[in-house]
Structure 1
Amino acid sequence: MTTTSAAKPRTYTSNEPGNAEINCFFESQTSTWQYVISDPATLQAVLVDTVLDYDPAAGKVSTESADQLLAFIKKKNLKVLRILETHAHADHLTAAQYLKSKLPGDVPVCIGSRITQVQSNFAPVYGLEWSTFGETFDIFLKDDEEFPVGNLTCRVIHLPGHTPDHIGYAIGKAVFTGDSIFLPDVGSARVDFPGGDAKQLYASMNRLLSLPEDYKLFVGHDYPSCRNYNCVTTVGEQRKLNKHGKVGTTEEAFIHFRKQRDDTLGAPRLIHPSLQVNIRAGRLPPADTEGRVWMKIPVKYTSDVEFSEC
């Protein structure tokens, strides 16, 4: 299998009015696609699903992936208007706060308004005080809300199922789907996190498949087995080929498949550090009195487990 270098973005352009220039950056450690979406006429841009590098074995956070985005933005002379999240990721840390600190202007970090459900689910798990969530995200986006990106218009689409807060972003004939759908040979995302729901994911996938056939769907991750990494497909291709949800797949069959499949999956490798950071818009957990930052890992054990002293 051939990997794609994050240093060399894939670029998609269109001569049709209302469409953006789309630059796609692949982060190989978490198989995440990050997007820089810009209006060629005004050079105004937004970022989608950025990655903060994290090595759990070393306990090290670094900014190589985010710095590549910053270098690209500077080279292209883009003005970033917003940093957008599709949902609270459980597989990578967002670079939103780091990018906000480096970009000129007070660039808002945005997410769907239902993030509060996810925050309330996970704050107690990690011992985070609800009072610390007052200033996390800058903008909580509502369903079907629209905002300008230069001369272009970005529309928010609620796509629940993988998580309850999940949204996508439509600009022209491009839709940034996050984890609501994957490329046809990968299919669909898991729904076994708190608030996940297979019936809702089925409906979200069908909402995407109801778009015109030539619309492009840009995915949040790719996990290929016998091909190169890719980030985009068309609605027409998904209708015919999506291995879990192509046209003709019944809701009952999809729900049954996802239940069976999710029962075999282990937790994502970075789930605990990711959620602690991502429900706080990219902020690391609060430092202790000595300035040290700790990631918490909940441990479950049965009451009959015995611990002996050395």
Structure 2
Amino acid sequence: MAGDNLTVVMEFILLGFSDLPKLQGILFAIFLVVYLSILLENSLLIFLTKIDSGLKTPMYFFLGNFSFLEICYTSVTLPRMLADLWTQKRNISFLACAVQTCFFFILGVAECLLLAVMAYDRYVAICKPLYYPLIMNHKVCVQLVVASWMIGVPVLIEQTYQIFSLNFCGPNKINHIFCDASPLFKLACGDTYKIEISVHVVAQLFILTPFLFILASYIKIVTTILKLPSTSGRSKAFSTCFSHLMVVGLFYGSGSIVYFQPKSGHSAGSVKVFALFYTTVTPMFNPLIYSLRNKDVLAALRKLLPK
């Protein structure tokens, strides 16, 4: 390495919002409020699903786990971003960057899979109501949640290892708000084509496949609902699915813009905005979407909170 006059990158610099120096304090205050809101809202939803007897169903079991996942997912990126805005240092060690990338991958994939599990739960509830208690028993629900968390872990650890096995010998400034594959590839020395293809294939497998499963589930659900004889029955069935569909739309809509558009299709600034959307805005609004449109959750809140 010395003979080739190369240096080894030992740390990276997350540029984040360094191009907005006058707004650092305002951005810190905004993201702090957002993070605290995410923690409070999702923790409250978890608490309600644990203590309220009316929420002891598979749907709310999955919702409680989804809220916990949202807290973990946001905590991978937001605290680091808040620290960077507060201290203005922005340095992140090579190892810390690798750990952040790995957990971001694992939790992102877990969210995709858990959304697919929640779609399957709605499919069984609406399309096979007589068999619902038998199919979605507690043991199966636990197994589905554990599978959502764990199924992608070995592959994603391997993916992270491949990315950080690349040679980083030049610039070390990551033009993003957290460590992610795409901006890291831009800093790597040498050919990254094979690893980029590998990452893209894994993304297709763990992101696109659950989405197609969700889509197929809702095609069956809508077909079944339209066959219901009563208008009130159709309305009630649609209402149980609408919140989940909104969450899927927000998460996949913003994520697909970042990960499935051509590289020339968006600027670094727009990538940061959409990354913020699916890592912070969506986790903040998800509890509100589920609670405001859900009579059971609102009833549990009324029991918990004084008038």
TM bracket, shorter-chain basis: under 0.3
Larger relative contact order (C-alpha < 8 A, sep ≥ 6)? 2
Return the structure number with greater strand share. Answer: 1
Q: TM-score, normalised by structure 2?
A: 0.26
Q: TM-score, normalised by structure 1?
A: 0.26
Return the structure number with greater helix share. Answer: 2
